[in-house]
């Protein structure tokens, strides 16, 4: 197993105290990796948040700082059981965390960031803060949210995954009341990051326990959408949470949703996407805001979205890079040249239910972990309100918090990427000469574009309408 060694700026024990390095010196800890992403309402323009923590078997929560190089490795182990050593102090006085290994479990719930296939039943738990009586939506709203009807999440995830997943069997239960008032769980409603997500999860699942069987009659729920009746902190949150519920010990895909989240189904789809292990994607302006790409429900959940009278702005498709991670794109539908040369391929719109052509091209860069993904987007299905029909090019770099950035040929890149610079049209050429990659949009086809791809040192001359040189 790869050894990842990093310096911990802080180790927090969320059940009360902050442990010193000495307390943990050379201590081996086994536990489960939990990751959660925090998303503020779009209109606030506030930053995104991300947490990785390890829930030890003793119930301690070890918070892994999000700025270290180990973050991506651990994030990809979301839901996995791991062994860590909390070691001696480093030169700067802070303790060291060493990730030792991943521990296989019988339940096969490791690597939640990988393939997601088959039926994925979720349960919505509607929990009211003890001092807030409001019920912003009724039970029928939350049950209907899972429908296999346009606008419903079952319909949505089927289209998104080409029927490789569904959320059949998902349901919602009537509002219950938490034992404590809002400010017990959320010291500063509407701001900060101090919502006690752990306690909300524990109290909400306990409050519904008399009526909810998490084993679901032998078809256990995979995920839990916690629907709150008032604000949390900055954000809605989505990721994973390890817990034992009705005898089932596993990492549950989990989301924490204040009313602004369930006002738009696209936000719930985004949070469930985090539950399925997806990170954010981004546009190309390098401004640190991961919500300014119109081409991915995992960036802006609601921009360029279809509107539904009941469920608000609906989720659109996610980038081909993300679908590939989830194993929703077959090898036959992924073009990945293994040798230098020029190729002409047809890529069809990503939202098409079926295709005999490619859904994506992956262009690797020699000697680099960076690569490009080429896809086609069109105004089809849940992509129906996208800016237009175009080739979309993403630069993938797994070491950053949003691995996929949609390339923008404009200089400077636009603040939001519903712009021509991000939409590669017939006759336009993208060239990354240093990477020895050239992509030319040759012609429109029935369902996409014919694309000319050249990789290697002998790039042809061309009119570089967009792109790098
Ligand atoms: Zn998010």
Ion ligand 1: residues, CB < 5 A: 37, 39
Asked if residue 388 lies in contact with residue 422, where contact means CB atoms within 8 angstroms, the answer is no
Decide: helix, strand or coil at residue 160: helix
pLDDT in tens, 361-400: 999 998 899 999 999 999 999 999 999 999 999 999 987 8
> Residue 317 C-alpha to ligand 1 middle, in angstroms?
15
Nearest residue to 156 (alpha-carbon basis) of 266, 260, 257: 266
pLDDT in tens, 240-276: 999 999 999 999 999 999 999 999 999 999 999 999 9
Distance between CA 434 and CA 147 in Å, rounded?
48
Per DSSP, which regions of 9-153 are E strands?
27-39, 49-56, 61-64, 81-89, 95-103, 118-119, 122-128
Q: What is the largest CA-CA distance in the chain?
A: 70
Q: Give the pair of three-digit tokens for residue 1.
A: 């197993």
Helix axes 153-161, 265-275, angle to 10 degrees: 60
> Residue 312 C-alpha to ligand 1 middle, in angstroms?
18
Task: Return the bridge partners of 172, or none.
Answer: 124
Better pLDDT: 427 or 105 = 427
pLDDT band at 328 (very low <50, low <70, confident <90, very high): very high
Burial of 140 (0-12, 13-18, 19+ CB in 10 A): exposed
> Residue 209 C-alpha to ligand 1 middle, in angstroms?
28
Asked if residue 458 lies in contact with residue 442, where contact means CB atoms within 8 angstroms, the answer is no
Nearest residue to 113 (alpha-carbon basis) of 145, 155, 71: 71
Decide: helix, strand or coil at residue 161: helix
pLDDT in tens, 213-247: 999 999 999 999 999 999 999 999 999 999 999 99
> Residue 425 C-alpha to ligand 1 middle, in angstroms?
29
Reported pTM: 0.91
- pLDDT at residue number 59: 84
> Residue 116 C-alpha to ligand 1 middle, in angstroms?
18
Q: Give the pair of three-digit tokens for residue 298.
A: 């995992």
> Residue 451 C-alpha to ligand 1 middle, in angstroms?
32
Whether residue 461 has pLDDT greater than 60: no
Quick check: bond before 412 cis, omega within 30? yes
Residues in the chain: 469
Q: Give the pair of three-digit tokens for residue 458.
A: 């002998």
């Amino acid at each position: 197993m790869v050894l990842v060694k990093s310096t911990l700026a802080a180790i927090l024990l969320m059940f009360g105290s902050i442990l010193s390095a000495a307390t943990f010196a050379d201590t081996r800890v086994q536990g489960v990796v939990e990751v959660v992403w925090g998303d503020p309402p779009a209109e606030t323009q506030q930053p995104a948040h991300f947490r990785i923590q390890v829930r030890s078997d003793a119930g301690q929560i070890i918070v892994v700082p999000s700025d270290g190089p180990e973050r991506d490795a651990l994030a990809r182990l979301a839901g996995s059981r791991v062994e860590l050593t909390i070691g001696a102090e480093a030169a700067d006085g802070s303790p060291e965390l060493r990730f030792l290994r991943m521990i296989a479990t019988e339940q096969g719930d490791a690597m939640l960031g990988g393939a997601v296939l088959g039926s994925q039943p979720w349960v919505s738990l509607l929990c009211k803060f003890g001092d807030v009586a409001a019920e912003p939506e009724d039970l029928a709203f939350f049950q209907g949210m899972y429908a296999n009807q346009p606008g419903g999440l079952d319909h949505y995830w089927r289209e998104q995954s080409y029927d490789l997943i569904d959320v059949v069997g998902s349901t919602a239960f009537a509002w219950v009341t938490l034992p404590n008032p809002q400010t017990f769980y959320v010291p500063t409603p509407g701001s900060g990051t101090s919502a006690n997500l752990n306690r909300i999860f524990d109290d909400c699942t306990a409050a519904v326990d008399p009526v909810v069987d998490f084993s679901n009659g032998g078809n256990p729920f995979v995920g839990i959408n916690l629907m709150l009746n008032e604000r949390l902190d900055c954000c809605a949150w989505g990721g994973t949470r390890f817990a034992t519920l009705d005898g089932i010990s596993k990492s549950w895909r989990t989301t924490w949703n204040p009313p602004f989240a369930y006002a738009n189904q696209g936000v719930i789809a985004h949070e469930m996407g985090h539950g399925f292990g997806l990170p954010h994607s981004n546009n190309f302006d390098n401004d640190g805001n991961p919500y300014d790409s119109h081409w991915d429900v995992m960036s802006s959940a609601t921009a360029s979205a279809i509107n539904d009278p009941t469920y608000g702005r609906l989720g659109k498709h996610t980038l081909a890079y993300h679908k590939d991670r989830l194993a929703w794109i077959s090898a036959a539908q992924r073009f990945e040249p293994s040798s230098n040369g020029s190729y002409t391929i047809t890529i069809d719109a990503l939202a098409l239910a079926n295709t005999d052509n490619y859904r994506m091209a992956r262009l690797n860069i020699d000697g680099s972990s960076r690569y490009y993904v080429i896809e086609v987007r069109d105004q089809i299905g849940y992509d129906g309100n996208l800016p237009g029909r175009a080739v979309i090019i993403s630069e993938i770099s797994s070491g950053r918090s949003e691995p996929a950035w949609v390339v923008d040929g404009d200089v400077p890149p636009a603040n939001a990427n519903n712009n021509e610079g991000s939409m590669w049209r017939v006759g336009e050429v993208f060239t990354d000469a240093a990477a020895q990659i050239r992509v030319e949009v040759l012609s429109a086809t029935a369902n996409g574009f014919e694309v000319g791809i050249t990789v290697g040192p002998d790039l042809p001359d061309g009119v570089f309408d967009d792109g790098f040189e």
